[in-house]
A = this chain, B = another copy of it.
Amino acid sequence: MTELRFGVIGAGYMGKAYAIALSEVATVYELGIRIGKEMIASASAAGAAEAAARLGFARSTGDWRALVADPAVDVVAIAAPTPFHRDMALAALAAGKHMICEKPLAATAPEAAGMARAAAGAAAGAGVRTMVGFNYIQTPATQLAREMIAGDELGQIIRFSGTHNEDFLMDPEAPHGWRLEAAQVGRAGAMGDVASHLVNLARFLCGPIETVVADTQVVHPARPGPGGPRPVENDDQGNILCRFASGVMGNLQGSRIQAGRKMGLAYEITGTKGAVFFDQERPGELHYYDARDRAGRRGFRRLLTEPGHGEYGRFCTGAGHGYGYNDMIVSEMAALVRAIDTGGPLWPDFAAGYEAACVIDAMLKSVDERRWVAVAEISEGLG
């Protein structure tokens, strides 16, 4: 393969992040493949044209269906709000396009199931590859945690405790919007939006989640809308207890109103021989406790990420030099490009996105029925 041409749908925050990543991924990863920024789609033709000029796309369109159908687009990146994911993804799959779609994959598990089934079909047919934009698993510190678990450095894993707490909606006067409407994004609020990252991360590190019991809360029941206060229809914060298929005990917290937490995706993983903890607000370090250290000299070590830890070495050859937000997106793009190029594995794909959605829906059911719920009660299977 010598070139792969991307079409990006959405010219906001994530649209720009994808544009940045597409600009540099071939250089960072020394891919030897040209990555084309072929087209960008936005809500209006004028806006899209402006974005194309600003972000360096060759062409633009005010109609995402045109982008999806364009023969010069090999890969579609969906950077539009969640309510649009399904239609965009199904159209792109029907057109045989490879795809990365922002998280969460869909508003509900059944919706995600449909997308995952379509993806499986397109994979079987045209060899289409799909990916969900759970970017945080790309952080080298988290990649390192996974390697340590796989390499038995922590012994048998017995506990996962994680949070994804932010405070972007802590002001009760922050305006209403689509993220707060059940019809748009489903009944999971902070838990579906931010904490879906945590669910995916927990599965990345500790495997499938089998059962959950949860509690959620809408703290600010109404927020200012255009014509006065409008009801908030999904949770501001939530807690989940879970068990993984492996028997590991889990504890997951999410929030969009957690005062002071800006990128509070953090976890501690405990094993029988050691432990690690991590905080995305300090993405360059993984703290590691090795119980086999000699007596009196045991303590959590601050490992600064360095070449050899996940993909860090692609970005920088010095230890502890810093790893940024866009670097994760670059690593995502590299994973997608390689998978398309080589046919090798790619994770998280749409099936994984669906499995994360099942955990969220199991959480909702647990809250509704005030009981432990097996994720299998939600999952319909994709076969």
A residues with CB within 8 A of B: 13, 16-17, 19-20, 23-24, 26-28, 30, 32, 34, 53-56, 144, 154, 158-159, 161, 163, 167-168, 170-172, 213-215, 217, 219, 237, 239, 241, 243, 249, 251, 253, 255, 257-263, 270-275, 280-285, 288-291, 293, 295-304, 306, 308-309, 315-328, 370-372
Contact = CB atoms under 8 A, between A and B. Distances in A.
A272 B172 contact: yes
A317 to B, nearest CB: 5
Of all A-B residue pairs in the complex, the 5 with the closest CB atoms, nearest first, are: A324-B324, A260-B289, A262-B320, A299-B301, A259-B275
A20 B263 CA distance: 26
Contacts of A251: 239, 251, 253
A99 B288 CA distance: 43
A59 to B, nearest CB: 16
A215 B214 CA distance: 12
B215 A243 contact: yes
A135 to B, nearest CB: 10
Contacts of A270: 255, 257-260
A217 B158 contact: yes
A219 B155 CA distance: 13
A197 to B, nearest CB: 12
B272 A219 contact: yes
Contact of A370 (B323, B324, B372): B372
Nearest to A277: B260
Contacts of A309: 296
A260 B274 contact: yes
A326 B327 contact: yes
Nearest to A158: B219
Given A239-B249, A260-B274, A291-B259, A315 B321 contact: no
A141 to B, nearest CB: 11
A140 B1 CA distance: 39
B158 A280 contact: no
A311 to B, nearest CB: 12
Contacts of A320: 262-263, 281
Given A282-B285, A296-B308, A300-B302, 12 more contacts: A13-B317, A20-B315, A158-B257, A239-B249, A259-B291, A260-B270, A260-B299, A280-B321, A283-B284, A302-B302, A315-B326, A322-B324
A35 to B, nearest CB: 9
A320 B298 CA distance: 12
Contacts of A281: 284-285, 304, 320
Contacts of A257: 158, 270, 272
